[in-house]
Amino acid sequence: MNLHPLFVHGVHWPELLVIVIRVVVGFAALMGAVVMMIWFERKVISDMQARIGPNRAGPFGLLQTLADGIKLFFKEDLVPEEADRFVFKLAPLLSLVPAIVAFAIVPVGGVMSVAGHRFTLQIADPPIGILLLLAMSSISVYGVMLAGWSSGSKYPLLGSVRASAQMISYEAAMGMSVVMVVLLAGTLSTRGIVDAQSSTFFASWYFVRTGVVPFFIFLVAVTAETNRPPFDLVEADSELVGGFNTEYSSLRFALFYMAEFMNTITMSAVIVTLFLGGPDGPTPHVMVLNQLVPVAWFLGKTLLFLFAYVWFRAALPRLRYDQLMDLGWKVLIPLSLVWTLIVAGGLVAGWWVVGLAVALVVGAGLLYRAVVVGHWRVDAGIFPDAPDAPPVSRRQRGALAGRWVSPPATATAGATSGAAVAVGVAPGANAPLGAEPTATTDAGAARSAPDGSGRGGGS
C-alpha cells in the first residue's frame, strides 16, 4: 500500500496536527466570512435601495444569516417526483466542496513563526496553486448543471443550460488573464505570485505590470463565473423563478446559497492575490504588528472587491443573453489572447510590444469585419460554407442584385412560409461576402439599423 510521504517514517503526529488545525481554522474563518458576507450584501444593498434591511436578529441584524440558516434546518427536504434522485442529492455537494477547496490556495498573510514552527498563513500552498483554482471553478459548473438537469423541471433546466454555456465561455477569458500573471511571476504557486509582487507598494503589483487590461478582464470574467449580477442569467429571478435551484428546498438550497457566497469571497481574494499583491502593503517593523498588518491589508483589499460585487448588483441591469455571450466571446477572449502576447513580448523586447499592439489593432479590425459578416449571414440565412447550403445560381443572384425581392404569390397570402423563401435571397447576395446589406435598399437599412444598435454594443 502506498503511503503518503509524510507517513513513510511513521506518522508524524505534530505535523498532522498542525495541518488539521490549519484546515479547521481556515474552514471556520471561511464559514464565518460567508455568514458575514450574506449580511453585508443584504445590508449594503438595502442601503443603496433606501431600505433598512435586516435589523431584527442581533445588533444591526448581524445574526440574521444564522437565523435563516437555522430556519432552513427545520424545513421539509423535498425531492421532486420528476427528479433524478441520486444526481439531485449529489449536485449541492458538487457545488459546495469545490467552493471550499478553492479558498485553500489563497495566501491570507505573510510567513508566521510560532514556537519555532514557521508556517505560511494559507491553508495549502501546492506548486500548481492557481491551476487548482481553475480546476475547482470548472467542477463547480457541474454542480449548477446537474442541479438544473436533475430537477426534472423547466426553469431549472433552462437556467442550468444557460449557466454551463456562460460559465465555460468566461472560463476561457479568465484562464487567459491568469496566464498573463503566470508569465510575469514564472510560477503557478500563489505564494510565489504574491512574493513576486512585493518589492514596492502598488507599482510592483500585477495590476500595473500587466497593463491594467487583464485585471478588468479577470474581474468581469470572475463576475460571470460566479454568476453574480449583472451576469446572473442563471438565476434570473424575473424569468426563471430561481434558476437552477428552483426545486431545491431546506438544507440543499442552503448549501447552494453558501457555495455562491463562498465563491464570491474566494474570487475576491484571488483577484487580490493575482493583481493587487495579496497581503502586500506598508508594514511596520514591530514584532507582532509585522505579521498582523499584512493580514489587515489582505482583508481590506478583499473587502473592496466584496463591496464592488454588491455595488455591481445594485447598479447594473442584467445583461441580455446574446450581449453576455458577445461580451465573453467577441471581446474578452480575443482581447485576452492578444494581450497575453503583448505581455510576453514585453518580457522579450520593447519593440515586440509595439509590433503586437499593431497586431491588436489589425486583429480587432478583422474581428469586427467577421462579426459584421456573421450577423449578415445569420440574418440572411446564407451559409456558403455549410455542406447543405442551397445553391444560388449566378443568374439568380444577378437578377436580385441589390433588390429586396418579395416572393411570388405566397407573400400576399401572408403565409409565414413565404417569409422563409425570402430568407434565401437577401439583398446584396451577389456582392462579395461581407458586404453590408445596410446601404443597398431602404428595407435593408431599416432592418439593419435596430440590429446594429442592439448588438453592436458588445463589439
Partner 1 sequence: MGEYLPILVLIVLGLLFAGLSFAASALLGPRRRPTSAKVAPYECGIVPDVEPPQRFPVRFYLVAMIFIIFDIEIVFLYPWAVIFRQLQTFGLVEVLVFAVVVFVTFLYLVSNGALDWGPAKRLERADTKRTTSSTVSRVPGGPPGEPSSGHEAA
Count CB-CB contacts under 10 A for residue 112: 14
Segment lying near partner 1 (by CB under 8 A), choices 42-50, 274-282, 292-300, 364-372: 364-372
Spell out the residues 6+ positions from residue 105 whose beta carbon is closer than 8 angstroms to its own: 122, 123, 124, 125, 126, 129, 130, 132, 133, 190
Least Å distance, CB 282 to partner 1, is 29
> Per the structure block, which three cell numbers stand in for 438?
445596410
> 6 vs 52, which CB is nearer to partner 1?
6
Measure the CA–CA gap between 376 and 423, rounded to whole angstroms: 11
Count CB-CB contacts under 10 A for residue 281: 17
Residue-wise burial string across 430-453, b where 16 or more C-beta atoms lie within 10 A, e elsewhere: eeeeebbbbebeeebeebbeeeee
DSSP for residue 236: -
Contact mark string toward partner 1, 260..299, x via CB under 8 A: ----------------------------------------
Q: Verify cis geometry, omega within 30 degrees of 0, for the bond prior to 279.
A: no
Contacts with partner 1 by CB under 8 A: the residue count is 115
Segment lying near partner 1 (by CB under 8 A), choices 59-67, 170-178, 229-237, 272-280: 170-178
**Contacts (CB under 8 A) with partner 1, residues 45-104:** 72-82, 92-93, 96-97, 100-101, 104
Residue from 132, 236, 267, 293 that binds partner 1 (CB under 8 A)?
Answer: 132
Measure the CA–CA gap between 37 and 31, rounded to whole angstroms: 10
Residue from 32, 300, 398, 434 that binds partner 1 (CB under 8 A)?
Answer: 434
Least Å distance, CB 378 to partner 1, is 4
- For residue 147, the SS3 value is helix
**Contacts (CB under 8 A) with partner 1, residues 308-337:** 321-322, 325-326, 329-330, 333-334, 337
Segment lying near partner 1 (by CB under 8 A), choices 54-62, 181-189, 264-272, 276-284: 181-189
> 12 vs 51, which CB is nearer to partner 1?
12
- For residue 288, the SS3 value is coil
**Contacts (CB under 8 A) with partner 1, residues 108-127:** 123-127
Residue from 45, 172, 299, 364 that binds partner 1 (CB under 8 A)?
Answer: 172
DSSP string, 10-60: S--HHHHHHHHHHHHHHHHHHHHHHHHHHHHHHHHHHHHTT---S-SSSGG
Count CB-CB contacts under 10 A for residue 373: 14
**Contacts (CB under 8 A) with partner 1, residues 186-215:** 186-188
Residue from 46, 204, 283, 406 that binds partner 1 (CB under 8 A)?
Answer: 406
Least Å distance, CB 95 to partner 1, is 10
Residue from 33, 196, 255, 332 that binds partner 1 (CB under 8 A)?
Answer: 255
- For residue 375, the SS3 value is helix
Least Å distance, CB 356 to partner 1, is 8
Contact between 22 and partner 1 by CB under 8 A: the answer reads yes
